Amino acid sequence: MQETEAQKKIQSLRGQLLYHSDKYYNQDNPEISDFEYDAMLRELEELEVQFPQFDDEDSPTHRIIGKVAEQFSPVEHTVPMQSLMDVFSKEELGEFLQKVETALGGVPAFCVEPKIDGLSVALEYENGVFTRGSTRGNGIVGEDVTENLKTVGGIPMKLPDAPTFLEVRGEVYMPTESFLALNAQREAAEESTFANPRNAAAGSLRQLSSEVTRERGLRVFVFNVQQVQGKEFTSHYESLDYLRSCGFAVIDNIAVKTGLDDIYRHIEIIGEARGNTSYEIDGAVVKLNDLSLRETLGTTSKYPKWAAAFKFPAEQKETVIEDIIVQVGRTGVLTPNAVLQPVRLAGTTVSRATLHNIDNIRDKDIRIGDRVIVRKAGEIIPEVVASLPEKRTGAEKIFEMPETCPECGAHTLREEGEAAVRCQGSNCPAQRLRNIIHFASKGAMDIDGLGPAVIELLLEHDLIHDVADLYHLTAEQLVSLERMGEKSADNLLTALEKSKSAGLDRVLCALGIRHIGERGAKLLAMHVPTMEQLMQKSEEALAAIHEIGGIMARSIVNYFADEQNRDLIQRLEEAGVQMHYTGEVVEQKEAFAGKTFVLTGTLEHYKRAEAKKIIEGFGGKVSGSVSKKTDYVLAGAEAGSKLEKAQELGVRVLSEEEFERLCE
């Protein structure tokens, strides 16, 4: 792969991973499976190793993506709640064990335990009394969900013979039976269902009402002592025995093993038991048992060096593709989906599977009528892994993406460099419905009473054509609709009026700009607090905002370049929708806008983190490696290879004094 191509691929993968991390961690609403996410992360890691000049300490490979929701108080974790390094095969597990053995100069014992697919939490006890519980968040700062955790099974409120202080880490999960019952209840109420038990658990634990959480039937398994005062442990297994004696729920099937073969055999035993448990298991965790050896090995910025998570492969079954149908998404993307001969997979009957895009269909040579392998790892919609051409009869048909939209008949287009085929019709019914549903949703304008059924009625009766029309609805129009009485009409109009003051961040999210979710919209609004200012920003200026980056910046500029979109924003503003941010604004200093810095050596007046914060505050970006695209290298004492490379490439090298003058 050429250097330019690699850089573009790295930027693309980072943008996709940030987007999907936000959907998973912050919105509890994933769009792709864990398997797809892990594959993208692994590809990015390999590219960053192959092209170190494009590595960046802000890359998703180096940090946990998560945030604290506004409705909860932040909790700073004294002991970071780190993630785990993933391994996917016996060979990769062997490589991990070999690294540990080499570092320690011996063959240590490991605890091997089932990995629960849930939401990680920290539980704190003072003199035996449960005082605080929090989510992991980004690993450093989480959310205070104490009251909700008091309703979760497996968490004792008081501990017998307790130490002065104890903090433990656990995984909150939703039992399979509770998950199925909850989704059935939501489906009957015409509410969106949860993708899987993990997301159902996360959404339930982060409810504003602890009574709602109580009704969801959550439970917890505790798996680690984070910190303790007044008691000592020498091994992890010993600490788990102690936690059991205190009344905590600790998962079964834990064993202490030594050596690759014995460890892997116990992982297989855990895997064989997956279908017989009342909870989702997505792998096994392998941890050093000796706690002092853990201290010896230490951690990286993201992972402990003494543990790894063995991820189980998704369950696979063979079935037949009876047809391929195309669905038009909210952004106009045409997605092919396979209609399957029903097959039992991962505890549910599967009759549909995503085919992603036409490239995927061609690469796997998938045809209508083929026998295929499908998989599902407790995640969203299943996917087709491979076709079985050796089982063809000759009656199979090659599938082609339609040249016109199946919803509106408009032409479709596949842009260069993209896998997606998009409908070009600005008034496509499929997009219109989904656009308005998204606009009214809780994470966007949060218009209470404007659910999918009501939106469909409004469209069917030709009362609205886009989101701006919502703000011109009258009580007379609404009461004429089926199942819409005067009270319901009045409540909807009140909700619409209230939504006008939602603020710029909610409006940006509601517009459905590609790659811009709740977090991206909030970041934009904090840095560029009015719609007018935002519409005038260049791609370079937007990309300089921390966590926005090139892909999101390009998407924003492209959106505002479209005359129809600008007209829609004008009509919303004329209807009274506020186009400014009402929260705390980050002061804009453009001295370093679009500039990339590299820090090297020991700085006299700043810590690295302080210098980085100053640069980002002035609109700049800090990278971990020097390249031709580096604008400045800030060099302190004992600067090494980065300084030498900067001098070779002719990159300007700054002393601290020169840096401070630029900041004036």
Known catalytic residues are: 115
Tokens of 424: 């070009």
Distance (Å, rounded) from C-alpha 455 to C-alpha 447? 11
From the list 169, 179, 121, the residue with the least C-alpha distance to 145 is 121
> Are the C-beta atoms of residues 190 and 452 closer than 8 Å to each other?
yes
> Are the C-beta atoms of residues 250 and 274 closer than 8 Å to each other?
no
From the list 554, 582, 527, 517, the residue with the least C-alpha distance to 65 is 517
Distance (Å, rounded) from C-alpha 596 to C-alpha 626? 9
Report CA-CA distances (Å) from 370 to 318, 321, 360, 366, 580. 10, 6, 15, 7, 53
Terminal Cα-to-Cα distance of the chain (whole angstroms): 42
Q: Where are the alpha helices (DSSP H) in 441-530?
A: 452-460, 475-479, 486-499, 504-510, 518-527
Length of the chain (residues): 664
Q: Collapsing DSSP states into helix, strand and coil, what is residue 331? A: coil
Distance (Å, rounded) from C-alpha 366 to C-alpha 321? 9
Distance (Å, rounded) from C-alpha 622 to C-alpha 58? 9
> Are the C-beta atoms of residues 234 and 224 closer than 8 Å to each other?
no
Distance (Å, rounded) from C-alpha 152 to C-alpha 273? 25
Tokens of 102: 């080499």
Number of H helices, E strands in the chain: 24, 24
Cα dihedral 603, 607, 608, 612 sign: negative
Distance (Å, rounded) from C-alpha 637 to C-alpha 654? 12
From the list 37, 89, 453, 90, the residue with the least C-alpha distance to 259 is 90
Cα dihedral 223, 228, 231, 236 sign: positive
Bridge partners for 354 per DSSP = 337, 383
| Burial per residue of 509-541, b for 16 or more beta-carbon CB atoms within 10 angstroms, e otherwise | bbbbbbbbbbbbbbbbbbbbbebeebbebebeb
Q: Collapsing DSSP states into helix, strand and coil, what is residue 568? A: helix
Tokens of 190: 């015409």
> Are the C-beta atoms of residues 337 and 353 closer than 8 Å to each other?
yes
Q: Tokens 């505050």 correspond to what residue?
A: 617
Q: Collapsing DSSP states into helix, strand and coil, what is residue 345? A: strand
> Are the C-beta atoms of residues 370 and 384 closer than 8 Å to each other?
no
> DSSP class of residue 194?
P
Tokens of 59: 């890359």
> Are the C-beta atoms of residues 305 and 298 closer than 8 Å to each other?
yes
State how far Cα 404 lies from the chain centre.
Answer: 33
Q: Collapsing DSSP states into helix, strand and coil, what is residue 86? A: strand
- Per-residue HEC secondary structure of 300-331 comes to CCCCECCEEEEECCCEEEEEEEEEEEEEECCC
Bridge partners for 623 per DSSP = 598
Q: Within 13 Å of residue 172, how many CA atoms lie on the same side as its CB?
A: 31
Distance (Å, rounded) from C-alpha 377 to C-alpha 386? 16
